[in-house]
């Protein structure tokens, strides 16, 4: 049914969920930042570790690339979570942006920042696939 909204209890539940996920993502980024600053301090100055670092450079680069990718997806997640938080405040959280139907709870519990119901998400993805060709 279009025009429906989530009950205040559910909104509160998802607000908590989003807040928790936000904290986790921010902690994750913080940890990586800390690790990286420790790493750069270690490699500067200490010459004895230089040979080791050079031999290991290949995997180091992969690790760095992987970390950067993880950081980016985590930042994107934070952005989406903040958007979801705004929608909770605006009172239109959990409503599909395309058809206006309620997004099922089960979906929101896995992806609290989902803005589309499964049907519309699938339609959107088919459309995207077609555009790419």
The residues binding Zn ion (CB under 5 A) are 96, 98-99, 117, 120
Instruction: CB nearer to Zn ion: give 46 or 119.
Output: 119
Judged by DSSP in three states, 1 sits in coil
CA distance 70 to 25: 10
Are the C-beta atoms of 14 and 94 separated by less than 8 Å? yes
Instruction: CB nearer to Zn ion: give 39 or 100.
Output: 100
Cβ of residue 6: shortest distance to Zn ion, in angstroms?
A: 15
Cβ of residue 76: shortest distance to Zn ion, in angstroms?
A: 22
Cβ of residue 123: shortest distance to Zn ion, in angstroms?
A: 8
CA distance 97 to 62: 38
Q: Which of 127, 21, 122 lies closest to 77, judged by CA?
A: 21
Instruction: CB nearer to Zn ion: give 22 or 103.
Output: 103
């Amino acid at each position: 049914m279009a025009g429906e909204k989530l009950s205040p209890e559910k909104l509160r539940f998802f607000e908590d969920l989003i807040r928790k996920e936000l904290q986790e993502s921010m902690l994750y980024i913080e940890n990586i930042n800390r690790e990286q600053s420790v790493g750069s301090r270690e490699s500067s100055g200490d010459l004895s570790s230089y040979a080791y670092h050079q031999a290991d450079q290949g995997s180091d680069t992969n690790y760095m690339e992987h970390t950067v990718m993880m950081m980016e997806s985590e930042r994107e997640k934070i952005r989406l979570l903040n958007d979801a938080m705004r929608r909770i405040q605006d009172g239109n959280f959990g409503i599909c942006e395309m058809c206006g139907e309620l997004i099922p709870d089960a979906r929101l519990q896995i992806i609290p920042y989902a803005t589309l119901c499964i049907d519309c998400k699938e339609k959107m993805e088919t459309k995207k696939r077609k555009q790419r060709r």
